[in-house]
């Protein structure tokens, strides 16, 4: 009788562990999906934040950063300050693009 109870508890525990493993796996798969470069580029070219002024050009080749879940597209802005290399950063989770000026050096 005690042996049957032990087996039942072990089966219940095994079932709970399987459910937890499935939930964690599904969360990981959904959370780690990557927005396509094509979708990110469409967000970038349609983003008011990334179109600085007339004459701004966006590179069609992006770089994905898995740590920040962002796509980076280089921008050509004629008026950009020296030492700056602006980019349109598309945030996967927000589905929005914003300019990152990527400036280096001291400001005098």
Cα(69)–Cα(5) distance, rounded to whole angstroms? 48
Give the pTM. Answer: 0.68
Identify the pLDDT of residue 62. Answer: 96
For the chain, percent of residues with pLDDT exceeding 90 = 50
Look at 84 and 26; give whichever has higher pLDDT.
Answer: 84
Query: SS3 of 64, please?
Result: strand
Domain map of the chain by residue range?
Answer: 1-33, 37-100
Identify the pLDDT of residue 28. Answer: 63
For the cut 80, the answer to whether the pLDDT of residue 1 exceeds it is no
With cut-offs at 50, 70 and 90, classify the pLDDT of residue 107: low
Identify the pLDDT of residue 106. Answer: 67
Burial of 91 (0-12, 13-18, 19+ CB in 10 A): middle
Identify the pLDDT of residue 82. Answer: 87
Cα(108)–Cα(104) distance, rounded to whole angstroms? 12
Q: Which two tokens stand for residue 73?
A: 């597209």
Look at 55 and 45; give whichever has higher pLDDT.
Answer: 45
**Which residues, 6+ apart, have CB-to-CB distance to 65 below 8 Å?**
71, 72
What is the per-residue pLDDT across 6-30, written as a single tens digit (0 to 9) for each? 888 888 888 888 888 887 776 666 5
């Amino acid at each position: 009788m005690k042996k049957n109870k032990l087996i039942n508890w072990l089966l219940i525990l095994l079932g709970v562990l399987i459910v937890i493993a499935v939930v964690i796996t599904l969360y990981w798969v959904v959370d780690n999906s990557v927005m396509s470069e094509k979708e990110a580029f469409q967000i970038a070219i349609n983003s008011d934040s990334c179109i600085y002024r007339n004459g701004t050009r966006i590179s069609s080749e992006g770089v994905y950063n898995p740590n920040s879940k962002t796509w980076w597209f280089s921008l050509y802005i004629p008026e950009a300050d020296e030492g700056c290399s602006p980019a349109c950063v598309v945030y996967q989770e927000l589905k929005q693009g914003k300019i990152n000026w990527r400036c280096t050096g001291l400001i005098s």
